[in-house]
């Protein structure tokens, strides 16, 4: 099977590599020439575990090639970004740019699978767009191509495994499209596939992430209530969760990543309904960042003003534990707020973080208690509990440092 993957980012490249590993001929397309060259030359350096090796093996076997231009294929898979604009509306420019590229090589019988997170109705818009661009691909009022929506359900750090393990939802713009796309995924990935309509599949993606955002918002708001009444939030939640039908999440310093802070806006943008609860949850999770920043500064400021030699260590700035991904990281925003106030007296540690913004100086050395003590760290603030970080913070506390856990 000839497969073309448009967008070789966090999802597209692993998908292309897995398809190639299963024996398909894959043509990857991306506008980033440096990335294309790195893939083709075997010099790719990607944070996702195991991806470099899988990509290099597929390139070496000639099952995967990357390019900035499209190519004919049986299946065209779109996995490009869908960022939010300043008004939190979904920008589909990358999606329709990819569709333009596909239209230049599209043939009767081809299958187009959209994976990008999109508002409800996007697959139908793509169908109408192609009909206008390539009317010869219609006969008797019916398309000679298939279009389906299939949201990804993977997490950075375990993408390769989850691509071949997680149940997939496939929604076709018509019944035949759904079944044809499902057959592709079953053959290439060996996964269980549930077939539905394109609209259900599109809404399912943003619903899953919005569900998590709402539940995280409850935990974070509860933590702020506990702060106000002088109760340990984690102790309260552990007691409340003893109820057989209660499962409150742990609070954190805020919501980050590419999906959870973004999907609620895409869901809200798909409907004219007021979505008061979802909007309120977004507000709570955004406020949590400011609440924690104010709390951290209220602890740090008096200590640093009192002692001109003491320093602060912030542990972890990625959006989640044991990940290198810093996109929309609440911890990164908090670290920036503290660093902006106390600049040269704050050390930020994260051996995993890959931050392309260059806004912060991040220390990526191996973190030890000895390192903290040597640098006269008097306050340790845990934001992201990468493996080993919590124990190091506790050990530093035993040595006299103040330990604050917002993870």
Q: Is 93 helix (H, G, I), strand (E, B) or coil?
A: helix
To which H or E segment does residue 284 belong? helix 276-306
Q: What is the pLDDT of residue 356?
A: 60
| Reported pTM | 0.90
Residues contacting 33, CB < 8 A, separation 6+: 68
How many CA atoms, within 13 angstroms, populate the side-chain half-sphere of residue 159?
Answer: 24
Q: How many domains in the chain?
A: 2
Query: Given this model, what pLDDT does residue 233 score?
Result: 95
* 305 inside domain: yes
Domain assignment present for 232: no
CATH number at residue 167: 3.40.50.720
Which of 136, 168, 191 corresponds to the end of one domain? 191
Same domain for 172 and 299:
no
Same-domain check for residues 168 and 41 = yes
Same domain, 309 and 186: no
330 CA to centre of own chain: 13
Domain range for residue 43? 2-191
* Domain-embedded: residue 245: no
Query: How, if at all, do strands 138-139 and 142-143 pair?
Result: antiparallel
Asked if residue 59 lies in contact with residue 131, where contact means CB atoms within 8 angstroms, the answer is no
Tokens of 382: 């845990």
Residue 207 forms part of a structural domain? no
Structure tokens at 334: 């908090």
Q: What is the chain's pLDDT, residue by residue, as a tens digit (407 residues)?
A: 999 999 999 999 999 999 999 999 999 999 999 999 999 998 998 888 999 999 999 999 999 999 999 999 999 999 999 999 989 999 999 999 999 999 999 999 999 999 999 999 999 999 999 999 999 999 999 999 999 999 988 888 889 999 999 999 999 999 999 999 999 999 999 999 999 999 999 999 999 999 999 999 999 999 999 999 999 999 999 999 999 999 999 999 989 888 899 999 999 999 999 999 999 999 999 899 889 999 999 999 999 999 999 999 999 999 999 988 888 899 999 999 999 999 889 999 999 988 666 678 899 888 899 999 899 999 999 999 999 999 999 999 999 999 999 98
Residue where a domain terminates, one of 191, 212, 229: 191
Q: Looking at the domain assignment, is residue 210 inside a domain?
A: no
Is 282 part of a structural domain of the chain? no
Residue 146's Cα: distance from chain center in Å? 28
CB 94 within 8 A of CB 126: no
Q: Which residue, 191, 221, 256, sits at the end of a domain? A: 191
DSSP, collapsed to helix, strand or coil, labels residue 62 as coil
Q: Which tokens go with 249?
A: 């999440």
Residues carrying an active site annotation:
205, 259
The two beta strands, 193-197 and 168-172, are parallel
Residue 347, in any domain of the structure:
yes
Which single residue is written with the structure tokens 């972890």?
316
Determine the Cα–Cα distance for residues 67 and 192; give it in Å rounded to an integer: 31
What is the four-CA torsion angle of 159, 161, 166, 172, rounded to 10 degrees? 60
CA distance 198 to 195: 9
Cα separation, 115 vs 148, in Å, equals 9
Q: How many CA atoms lie within 13 A of 309 on its CB side?
A: 4
Tell me the torsion sign for CA atoms 4, 93, 268, 196: negative
């Amino acid at each position: 099977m000839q497969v073309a993957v448009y967008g070789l980012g966090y999802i597209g490249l692993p998908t292309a590599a897995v398809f190639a590993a299963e024996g398909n001929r894959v043509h990857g397309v991306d506008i980033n020439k440096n990335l294309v060259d790195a893939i083709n030359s075997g010099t790719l350096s990607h944070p996702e575990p195991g991806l470099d090796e899988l990509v290099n093996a597929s390139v070496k076997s000639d099952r995967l090639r990357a390019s900035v231009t499209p190519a004919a294929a049986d299946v065209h898979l779109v996995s490009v970004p869908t960022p939010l604009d300043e008004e939190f509306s979904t920008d589909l420019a990358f999606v329709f740019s990819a569709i333009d590229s596909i239209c230049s090589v599209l043939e009767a019988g081809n299958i187009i699978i959209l994976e990008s997170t999109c508002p409800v109705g996007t697959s139908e818009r793509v169908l109408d767009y192609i009909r206008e661009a390539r009317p010869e691909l219609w006969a008797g009022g019916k398309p000679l191509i298939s279009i389906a929506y299939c949201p990804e359900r993977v997490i950075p750090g375990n993408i390769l495994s989850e691509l071949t393990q997680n149940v997939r939802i496939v929604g076709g713009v018509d019944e035949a499209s759904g079944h044809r796309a499902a057959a592709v995924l079953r053959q290439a990935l060996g996964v269980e596939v549930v077939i539905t309509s394109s609209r259900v599949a599109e809404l399912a993606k943003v619903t899953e992430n919005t569900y998590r955002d709402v539940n995280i918002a409850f935990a974070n708001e509860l933590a702020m209530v506990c702060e106000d009444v002088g109760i340990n939030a984690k102790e309260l939640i552990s007691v409340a969760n003893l109820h057989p039908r209660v499962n409150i999440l742990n609070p954190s310093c805020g919501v980050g990543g590419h999906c959870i802070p973004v999907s609620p806006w895409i869901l809200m943008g798909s409907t004219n309904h007021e979505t008061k609860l979802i909007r309120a949850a977004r507000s709570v999770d955004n406020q949590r960042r400011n609440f924690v920043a104010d709390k951290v500064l209220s602890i740090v400021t008096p200590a640093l003003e009192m002692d001109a030699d003491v320093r602060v260590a912030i542990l972890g700035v990625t959006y989640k534990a044991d990940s290198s991904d810093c996109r929309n990281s609440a911890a990164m925003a908090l670290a920036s707020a503290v660093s902006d106030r106390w600049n040269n007296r704050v050390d930020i540690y994260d051996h995993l973080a890959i931050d392309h913004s260059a806004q912060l100086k991040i220390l990526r050395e191996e973190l030890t208690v000895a390192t903290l003590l040597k640098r006269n760290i008097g306050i340790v603030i845990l934001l992201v509990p990468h493996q080993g970080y919590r124990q190091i913070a506790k050990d530093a506390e035993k040595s006299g440092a103040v330990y604050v856990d917002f993870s």
